[in-house]
Amino acid sequence: MADVYGWAFPVSVDPSTGRIREVNDEDLVRQSIRMILMTDYGERHYYPDFGCGLRQYAFGFTDYTALRRLEAEVKSCIERWEYFFTRPQRLTYWNRVDEAQSGWAVCV
């Protein structure tokens, strides 16, 4: 994984430097995934689709179907919202489609 830096969560000040504490690589991805999984849909005002609906599974049945739905929910949320975890391993390059079209094609 390339060197990726971001603010630590929860946001705090590093006492040795007086700057906002940062994390990199695996810690950043770990914190980001935790934030995605622990945020329920609708909690973020400007991003109502952000998060993962794990709370609906907390006190429900734990049969095979529910576990498969839970697994699918987690996978889709991580693939949708965690940029550093999914994109570098899955995408090889971006290619401009056609000058007449206003879109991008992703070659995997």
Look up the CATH number of the domain holding residue 63.
3.10.450
Residue 32's pLDDT is 86
Q: 3-class DSSP state for residue 96?
A: strand
Residue 51's pLDDT is 92
DSSP annotation string for 23-87: EEHHHHHHHHHHHHHHPPTT-SSS-TT-S--GGGGTTS--SHHHHHHHHHHHHHHHHHH-HHHHH
Residue 26's pLDDT is 80
Residues 41-76: pLDDT tens digits?
A: 999 999 999 999 888 888 888 788 888 888 888 888
The distance from CA 65 to its chain's CA centroid, rounded to whole angstroms, is 24
Count the domains in the chain: 1
Structural domain that includes position 96: 5-107
Percent of the chain with pLDDT over 90: 23
Residues 3-50: pLDDT tens digits?
A: 777 888 889 999 999 999 998 878 888 888 889 999 999 999 999 999
